Each structure stands twice: as structure tokens, then as C-alpha cells.
Structure 1
Amino acid sequence: MQQVLDLFQEYNIYITAVMAIIILLLFIMVIVLFNSVSKVEKRYRKLMRGINNKNLEELINTYLDKVDSSLLIAEEAREISGAMKAQLGKCIQKFAVIRYKAFEDVGSDLSFSIALLDDKNDGIILTGIYARYESTTYAKPIDKGISRYDLSEEEEKVLKEAINK
């Protein structure tokens, strides 16, 4: 133990000088760190001040409330869209028209057949037959692309055309 104390007394000046240098370096590091913390604190206070003196937490909460509100509105729109899609399936989506001459003694193509179908190929075929002294209109129901009534050549043609649309 005495040897260690003798060693310390012999190199006392050097040890003190090294410790003074280390203390000086640590003091400089503390000053630099205080300066850095001060800059970060200024930036933090500016960030927390936000816009129009509202702090950041209030702004974030406001925007989160808006996001929640938007999600509710989007869910309502999705439900309405689904309901509309179901209703649109029942609307006329496919149609075809053909005009033709039903009788040789009648001038123009005044007779017609119209197929009106939904997305499941349900609907009707309307046929108007024009003759010289009379005109007749027929309606034939269509179920899944098939009529339970006999169809004329023109009606079958207009039905196939509407189904293929």
C-alpha cells in the first residue's frame, strides 16, 4: 500500500494535470450539451405551440376526431352503395331493338320488337306488328333469358342480342 502512495506522490503533478484536462473537457461537453438541449427545447416549444397558438395535442385530437367522422361517413356511403347496387340489378340494363317488315304488302319497316332485360336476363319483349288496317302490340315475359311463350324469329333475334350485351 505504501508503494501505491509513494507512486501517487511522485506523479502527483501529472495526475493532477490529467484530471484538470479531463474536468475541462467534461465542462466543455456540458456546455455543448446544454446548448443542444436548449435548441431542442426551443424546437419542442415551437412544435407544441402548433398553429394559431393551439398546441400539437389539440391539433392531433381534432384531426383524429375528423378521421373518425370520415370513417363513419365512408361506412354509410358503403352501405348506401350496396343498397343501390342491389336495386340497380333489378333495373333494365340490357336492351335491343329490331325493326322489320311483318307483311309483304306493307311499305316500310314499321313493325318492331324490343327486348328489355335486367342483369339476370329477366324482363319483357314488346312486339308491335303493323298491318295495313290495324296494329297489334304484344308483351311477352322473359325469365332468365327464356320465354314461356313461343317467340317469333325476330323476337328470338332481339332477345339474343340483348342477352349478349
Structure 2
Amino acid sequence: MEDWTSNPMNAVTVVLALLVIILFIWIAIVGGRLKKLRKQYTAVMGNTGLTNMEDVIVELKEGLAEQKQANQQLKEQLAVVQTSLPNQKGKVGVIRYNAFSEQGSDLSFSIAIVNEEKDGAVFTGIHSRDNTYVYAKPIEKGESAYPLTPEERKAILEAK
């Protein structure tokens, strides 16, 4: 039996066979890495309908610019609301009382509608047997140019 090292053709064949085996192993490893890379690429691209990474980046950049613009508009609107909110007459105080102790129940009332600075108005309804009389007084800083009744002052304090 002849040794494979004695014949140069046998040695070349063995070396080529080993080289082919090594190349197959290398191709399998590279194929696995390529499959993993393709999965990652598909995950990044998602359902964009685009196949070019540059198009995806441009689309994301445009979307980001739109979001920044919308965010800026919302900040401006919020600033307007924050500056106008303290001036809104949204604080309400209601006091019911019996204006005439000899009659019925608490059918008279005072309603104060003011803002943070206690600017607004107070409305008073005096109920008698035959009628109800309603009065309105402007309020600035919790006071009025017209005399305020104790019930009106209490309604203004309750409106805080």
C-alpha cells in the first residue's frame, strides 16, 4: 500500500479536500450571520414598504421634524392658556340665607364669580313673599365700589 505523502497528487488531493471542508464550514458560519443580519434588517425596516435604508432615515427625519413642529405649537398654545387662565372667572362661591327672619327658608342667595385676583362680580337675589330682586356688583381685588353685604363678602371668600 502506497503512502499518500509519497505521491504528490495524493497530497494535493488531501489538501484540496481539507480546504473544501474548511470553506464549507466558513460558508455555513457566514450564512448564519447573514440570516441574523437579515432578521435585524427586517425588524428595522418594519412595514415601511421601503427597501432602501436611506429612504427610511429620510422618512424618520421628516416625521421627527413634523413632531417637533407640532410640539412647538402645543407649547405655544399651553403658554397662551397659562397666561389667560388666571384671568378666567372660574371660581364660584354660593351662599343661601334667609333675608327676612320672619319668613320661610333660605331662599335668598349671593353668588360670587371671580378669578385668581378676586376680580369678577357678585350677584345677590333677595327673596320676599311677592318677588325676588336680583342685584349685581362688580368686584376688583375682592372689593366693590358698591357696599357689600356680609353674605356677599362670605360668597367672595368662599369662591377662593
TM-score (norm 1): 0.66
Quick one: which of 90, 94, 108 aligns to 1:93? 90
Per the alignment, in what secondary structure is the counterpart of residue 148 of structure 1?
coil
| Gapped regions of structure 1 (runs ≥ 5) | 1-30
C-alpha separation in 2, matches of 1:114 and 1:128:
9
C-alpha separation in 1, matches of 2:98 and 2:45:
79
Aligned residues between the structures = 136
Quick one: which of 140, 144, 147 aligns to 2:144? 147
C-alpha separation in 1, matches of 2:132 and 2:50:
81
Contact between 2:50 and 2:56, CA under 8 Å: does it hold in 1?
no
Name 1:102's counterpart in structure 2. 99
Greater relative contact order structure (CA < 8 Å, 6+ sep): 2
C-alpha separation in 1, matches of 2:152 and 2:77:
37
1:37-56 to 2 correspondences below 5 Å: 43=37, 47=41, 50=45, 52=49, 54-56=51-53
Quick one: which of 109, 114, 118 aligns to 1:112? 109
Contact between 1:102 and 1:111, CA under 8 Å: does it hold in 2?
yes
Name 1:18's counterpart in structure 2. none
Contact between 1:47 and 1:56, CA under 8 Å: does it hold in 2?
no
C-alpha separation in 2, matches of 1:158 and 1:38:
81
Distance apart, 1:50 and its partner CA: 4.2
Distance apart, 1:39 and its partner CA: 7.3
Give the direction of change, closer, same or farther, for the CA distance of 1:70–1:64 in structure 2 (3 Å limit): same
Seq. identity, %? 34
C-alpha separation in 2, matches of 1:131 and 1:138:
14
Counterpart check, 1:59 vs 2:56: yes
Name 2:154's counterpart in structure 1. 157
Q: Based on CA coordinates, which of the two structures has the bigger radius of gyration?
A: 1
For residues 69-102 of structure 1, the C-alpha deviation after alignment (integer angstroms, 9 at most, x for no partner) is: 1110111122122223333333222111111110
Contact between 1:122 and 1:142, CA under 8 Å: does it hold in 2?
yes
Superposed CA RMSD: 3.2
Whichever residue aligns with residue 152 of structure 2, its letter is E
For residues 34-85 of structure 1, the C-alpha deviation after alignment (integer angstroms, 9 at most, x for no partner) is: 87888777848x8499454512221111111100011101111221222233
| Gapped regions of structure 2 (runs ≥ 5) | 1-22
Name 2:66's counterpart in structure 1. 69
Name 1:4's counterpart in structure 2. none
Give the direction of change, closer, same or farther, for the CA distance of 1:53–1:79 in structure 2 (3 Å limit): closer
